[in-house]
Structure 1
Amino acid sequence: MARSDLLLQLVQSGLQGDRTLFRRVVEAIIAEERVKQHHVLADRLQENLSTLNNMTNNNTVAFYNNGKVGEAKAENYLFESYPKISLKDLVLSESIIRFVQDFAEEFNRAEILRSYGLEPRNRVLLIGPPGNGKTSLAEALATELMLPFFSVRYEGIIASYLGETSTRLNTLFEYVRTQRCILFFDEFDSIGKERGDIHETGEIKRLVSSLLLQIDRLPSYVIVVAATNHPELLDKAVWRRFQAKLMLAKPTIKQIEQVIRKFEIQSNVSFGYTPSYIAQRLKGVNFSEAEDFCKLVLRTYVLKIPHANLKKIIRDKLDEFNKSYKPNIK
């Protein structure tokens, strides 16, 4: 860690909005960390400082201008969170687990890649029907990389006036360029639509062009994760922007079993039937529906204590489910 006096100066420069002092203090911390052989931390600090040096003196940086002009604007377009969900909480295929591990290694060892003239991948497209963990995987990636998670708020971005949507999009991207973060676009097809669609207006087509340009300009420490239920609606150029495309399909019977086992462990309750039996009866559900079924059983069980018969509850709920369930349409 840097000396206590440097940390105090860093805080003071931030509170006072003193950009020059802030830069000097960060440079001193970088030098000290290099002496300690903490090169990864020093490189990351230098990277952030270089980003600051390349910015103008307007409201691009939320930290300055007494605070938070740029940030206040960005808050209209972003929802910031720090997810608690981790990879071990999810039921994933081996290939997706390996991808996340490789992706995290690229991000955490970016300086080695750069020494060979390479950049880490920072754009991921998640594809699949609803309820199969696209948002959860994006949040788990943020947890794995220890990054803040910014979800794009479309209701704040989409405007009715010509050109205003692109202006708001520019403000959003100006802000995230100052952050090491994950930028998440849910239902990406709603904003990245095919420009050749005759039903779309010229404003939407200009928006897609602006969006692609902004994504291209993002530094590698900003990770873009986009999720879509309808990949066929995406503009062809969108596909080229993403270095990784992951398909999150409906769970297999074995994966539904894993969901049930995890739920039993987390809730400290045994359902009385084998997970394989319940999974067979739930065949065709998505991950979200499987978890919802487990919660429904537990909720009913808790409300019937002390006279609860868990096996009967499961039988009844499975019968109700099989009578009423209609497969989720893609």
Structure 2
Amino acid sequence: MATADHVKALIRSHAEGDDERFYAIAMQVAAQAARQGHTKFAQELRNLVDQAKLRAKAEPSGQRTKPVPIIQPRGELAGLLSAAFPKSRIADMALDDALRARIDRILLEQRQRETIRAHGMSPLRKLLLVGPPGTGKTTTAAALAGELSTPLFTIQLDGLITKYLGETAAKLRLIFEAIQQTRAVYLFDEFDALGGERAARNEVGEIRRVLNSFLQFLEQDDSDSIIVAATNHPQILDRALFRRFDSVIEYRLPSENVAEEVMRARLSLLDASEVNWSEALDAAKGLSHSDITRACEHAAKNAILQHHTRIDTAELVEALIERRAAHQ
């Protein structure tokens, strides 16, 4: 049977994504089990390994995605990247049909990226997400990572941008080297802090140089990673940025259908059968997905604290109005 060393080696090879070593160790365990008289277990284990190898060979190469182990950035990268392994899925998001179709296309090209590259083309992988706060830009980056079983690395702009000449560009180079070396989704959130218009009078020379460096690194990058830049203020971005991205995706405040979908999903654990959705939707006008979600959670918690299982229309409307007032 498996020894402690075998178990540790199996876990290590799985974490590193080394399938061949994983199968080899499993076969060693089967051989040892057979020598100890556990012939049925040994044969079952061999069969499982053979079946797993056959399934791997049968998969189209463009659809073969392996989980990338989460390794917290070390050294100079420690203050530049934060790592996560999201379980989010696009199906969990409330999106209009056009936006969902664009994201589905990105996923399709990523899953077939080897086939696309074999024909001399590149899959969609440099994405600029623009739109109001709370409309799902950051969530999309997490969902892409979840769908593709890759880590999500968020760039820490406070650690990236410094006042010292040349230091920010050097740190940016480290990030793009990581993008080249480790396939993942890399999120530049609040991207306008880095990508602001170079001609702006109040911009210091260092930021202009950093933007020039970013443009060069982005254009030269041919990795398998996905680069996502998200901003609430596309109007202040440098015009040269837009043509460097494969796709610019615009996020809007939710339509009535999407707003209702968000509310029904967040209130699904309570009885919402008597909610007047027309009144609720009227109160939700102008609110983002995030605002609606928080209002629903507030109303749901109020019901729970009052030992109710039914959500009250007046309470939901009041929570939505409070969220609106918070922005005024």
TM-score computed with the length of structure 1 as normaliser? 0.76
Paired with 1:5 and 1:282, the residues of 2 have a C-alpha distance of 54
Offset, 1:3: 5.4
Matches within 5 A, 1:304-315: 304-305=306-307, 310-311=311-312, 314-315=313-314
Say whether the 8 Å CA contact 2:62–2:115 is kept in structure 1: no
Counterpart in 2 of 1:278? 280
- CA-to-aligned-CA distance 1:246-294 (integer Å, 9 cap, x gap): 11100112211111111222x2432621333311222221111111111
- CA-to-aligned-CA distance 1:108-144 (integer Å, 9 cap, x gap): 1112212221111111111101111111111111111
Paired with 2:146 and 2:79, the residues of 1 have a C-alpha distance of 24
Counterpart in 1 of 2:149? 146
Selected match of 2:61 from 23, 26, 40: 40
2:142 match: secondary structure: helix
Counterpart in 2 of 1:131? 134
Paired with 2:286 and 2:64, the residues of 1 have a C-alpha distance of 48
Q: CA, structure 1 residues 7+269, in 2 after alignment: closer, same or farther (shift >3 Å)?
A: farther
Say whether the 8 Å CA contact 2:62–2:112 is kept in structure 1: no
Paired with 1:105 and 1:203, the residues of 2 have a C-alpha distance of 39
- Structure 1 runs not aligned, ≥5 long: 9-31, 49-62
Counterpart in 1 of 2:301? 299
Q: Which amino acid aligns with 2:147?
A: E
Residue 181 in 1 paired to residue 180 in 2? Answer: no
Say whether the 8 Å CA contact 1:170–1:214 is kept in structure 2: yes
1:203 match: secondary structure: helix
Residue 2 in 1 paired to residue 20 in 2? Answer: yes
Counterpart in 2 of 1:166? 169
Q: Which amino acid aligns with 1:93?
A: D
Say whether the 8 Å CA contact 1:284–1:327 is kept in structure 2: no
Selected match of 1:112 from 106, 115, 118: 115
Q: CA, structure 1 residues 141+37, in 2 after alignment: closer, same or farther (shift >3 Å)?
A: closer
Q: CA, structure 1 residues 260+117, in 2 after alignment: closer, same or farther (shift >3 Å)?
A: same
Matches within 5 A, 1:21-100: 36=57, 40=61, 71-100=74-103
Q: CA, structure 1 residues 142+44, in 2 after alignment: closer, same or farther (shift >3 Å)?
A: closer
Selected match of 2:292 from 278, 290, 293: 290
TM-score computed with the length of structure 2 as normaliser? 0.77
1:325 match: secondary structure: helix
- CA-to-aligned-CA distance 1:204-235 (integer Å, 9 cap, x gap): 10000111111122224111111111111111
Paired with 2:120 and 2:237, the residues of 1 have a C-alpha distance of 31
Q: Which amino acid aligns with 1:204?
A: I
Q: CA, structure 1 residues 273+36, in 2 after alignment: closer, same or farther (shift >3 Å)?
A: closer
- CA-to-aligned-CA distance 1:52-101 (integer Å, 9 cap, x gap): xxxxxxxxxxx9xxxx9x73321210011011221121110111211122
Q: CA, structure 1 residues 4+136, in 2 after alignment: closer, same or farther (shift >3 Å)?
A: closer
Paired with 2:257 and 2:271, the residues of 1 have a C-alpha distance of 20
Q: Tell me how large the CA RMSD over aligned residues is.
A: 3.1
Counterpart in 2 of 1:325? 324
Offset, 1:321: 4.7
For this pair of structures, how many residues does the alignment match? 282
Say whether the 8 Å CA contact 1:129–1:250 is kept in structure 2: yes
Aligned residues with identical type, % of pairs: 29
Q: Which amino acid aligns with 1:303?
A: L
Paired with 1:37 and 1:320, the residues of 2 have a C-alpha distance of 52
2:158 match: secondary structure: helix
Say whether the 8 Å CA contact 1:254–1:276 is kept in structure 2: no
Q: Which amino acid aligns with 1:2?
A: E
2:168 match: secondary structure: helix
Q: CA, structure 1 residues 271+162, in 2 after alignment: closer, same or farther (shift >3 Å)?
A: farther
Matches within 5 A, 1:199-214: 199-214=202-217
